[in-house]
Amino acid sequence: MEFLDKLVLPQSAGHIQLLHYMMSLVLFVYLPFVSLLLCGLALSLCAKRKAKKTQDTVMMRYSIDIIETAAFNKVVGFVLLIISPFVLTFIAVQLLHGIATAAVSFIFFGAIVGVPGVFLAFAYRYSYEIERVMEKFEPSPDADHYYKSALSLNNYSGPWALILMLFSVYFVFAGVVQGIYAPEAHFSIVTEAFIIKFLTLLAFGFLVTAAVMLFKYFYWDGGLKGESDEFMERSRKEFSKLAMFSGYALPVLVLLHIVHLPSTVVTAQTLLFAVLAVLMLFGLFHAIYNVTKKNNGAAMSWGLLFVIFTAMALIMGDQSALEQSTKMNSMQMAADFDSMMVKTAAAVAPPAGEEISGENIFNTKCSACHKWDVKLVGPPYKETLPKYEGKMDELISFITHPTKKNPDYPAMPEQGLKPKEVEAIAKYIMATYKTK
């Protein structure tokens, strides 16, 4: 990714730390939503296939409800699912600059593949709406044509969206894992670490989807109304079972992920976040138990909070490992930045012993707004400087931090001058204005 390397800017230690925080934030908004869309797509297509085989109308209802919930808003889908991977790419370019790794290429490829994947996912979602609308029309050639078009769109957009999103998510998070393994310079597309991480994301995605559906069916806006007890009970069992199985798999996969991490990047912080992720799952299990056994739909309100905290712990654990993995490279980049700043300061600083020219500063900074005896943007110096006679400190203070003194003139902007430059320009104008 040489063209991306050209976009790399020198980074100080503070900037590097800020990039890690930004990466955590982007992953925090990306992970839950992309997991929901990916696994929602998979569940919707599975339910649709089962409905066609068994003529089960409930399964078809699940297929529609799941995808409408997973792809709930086009704007959110565009911002969180399309832009986020590209932001991750540019952050990774900065953090991994100088390291021989394929991480940036993986994330960038995943971001590109995700664009058509997201569009097709929303096409699949809205094809169901088009079908419902066309079913309300009286039979006619035009109505039949549009209905068949919607049906065709539904049949091909869903599977292709799932395939593209699988590739997109795999490569984006393979890139993140590759960054953690960067010092060992693995370039393989398929490794045990990538597969374990991908399975972890799938388990989390099915958990998120099931939790969101339970929340929608049994808590949101008072839960579904006007549905039969048989439908609600079946929904309770189906989604609770999915959430529990996914939840059971997640701790095992998190443990395998930790075991496969290089010993050089595993810190107490990484282990702490892994333990917190597992503990959050127990809170979610308790919420699901309240929904299934006690018919307490309100439990899913705090159940979703545990899902969010689980995602946060998983992300922070990976970020801790990534920081440790790139620690030496970050120190080198910070040292290079400090060296560059020293050289830049030396280049622009006047030679030792050379006096700063107040006249040069006047010509470059002041002359655009001030004349000696004529009003320009600001007042003429012959009107304003006499009051500073014998008060050089006040003039220096005003030039350093100007304030609005005369309502007939706009406020003078700060010039960003150094203390010695301010002193030089103050002495120059005070010594010169009487002679002009």
Range scoring the smallest mean pLDDT among 147-151, 332-336, 357-361: 147-151
- Determine the pLDDT at residue 373: 76
- Determine the pLDDT at residue 405: 76
- Determine the pLDDT at residue 334: 80
Confidence grade of residue 202 (pLDDT, cut at 50, 70, 90) = very high
- Cα 342-347-353 angle, rounded to 5 deg: 100
Range scoring the smallest mean pLDDT among 30-34, 93-97, 304-308, 315-319: 93-97
Q: What is the pLDDT of residues 131-141, one digit of tens each?
A: 776 666 666 67
- Determine the pLDDT at residue 93: 86
Nearest 5°: phi and psi at 189? Answer: -75, -30
Q: Which of the pair, 229 or 165, is modelled with greater confidence?
A: 165
Range scoring the smallest mean pLDDT among 112-116, 182-186, 217-221: 182-186
Residues 244-257 have a mean pLDDT of 90
Which one of 55-64, 376-385, 426-435 scores highest in mean pLDDT? Answer: 55-64
Q: Look over the chain and give the mean of its residue pLDDT values, rounded to a whole number.
A: 82
User: Of 199, 183, 7, 34, which is closest to residue 111 (Cα–Cα)?
Assistant: 34
How many other C-beta atoms lie within 10 A of the C-beta of residue 428? 18
Confidence grade of residue 199 (pLDDT, cut at 50, 70, 90) = very high
Position 114, amino acid: G
State the SS3 of the chain: CHHHHCCCCCCCHHHHHHHHHHHHHHHHHHHHHHHHHHHHHHHHHHHHHHHHHHCCHHHHHHHHHHHHHHCCCHHHHHHHHHHHHHHHHHHHHHHCCCCCCCHHHHHHHHHHHHHHHHHHHHHHHHHHHHHHHHHCCCCCHHHHHHHHHHHHHHHHHHHHHHHHHHHHHHHHHHHHHHHHCHHHCCCCCCCHHHHHHHHHHHHHHHHHHHHHHHHHHHCHHHCCCCCCHHHHHHHHHHHHHHHHHHHHHHHHHHHHHHHHCCCCCCCHHHHHHHHHHHHHHHHHHHHHHHHHHCCCCCHHHHHHHHHHHHHHHHHHHHHHHHHHHCHHHHHHHHHHHHHHHHHHHHHHCCCCCCCCCHHHHHHHHHCCCCCCCCCCCCCCHHHHHHHHCCCHHHHHHHHHCCCCCCCCCCCCCCCCCCHHHHHHHHHHHHHHHHHC
Q: What is the pLDDT of residues 274-306, one digit of tens each?
A: 899 888 888 888 888 888 777 777 777 788 888
- Percent pLDDT > 90 in the chain is 17
Tokens of 342: 């020293």
- Determine the pLDDT at residue 332: 80
Q: What is the pLDDT of residues 60-85, one digit of tens each?
A: 888 888 998 888 888 878 888 899 99
Does the pLDDT at position 395 exceed 80? no
Does the pLDDT at position 353 exceed 70? no
Residues 156-183 have a mean pLDDT of 86
- Determine the pLDDT at residue 37: 93
Residue matched to tokens 């925080």: 21
Confidence grade of residue 205 (pLDDT, cut at 50, 70, 90) = very high
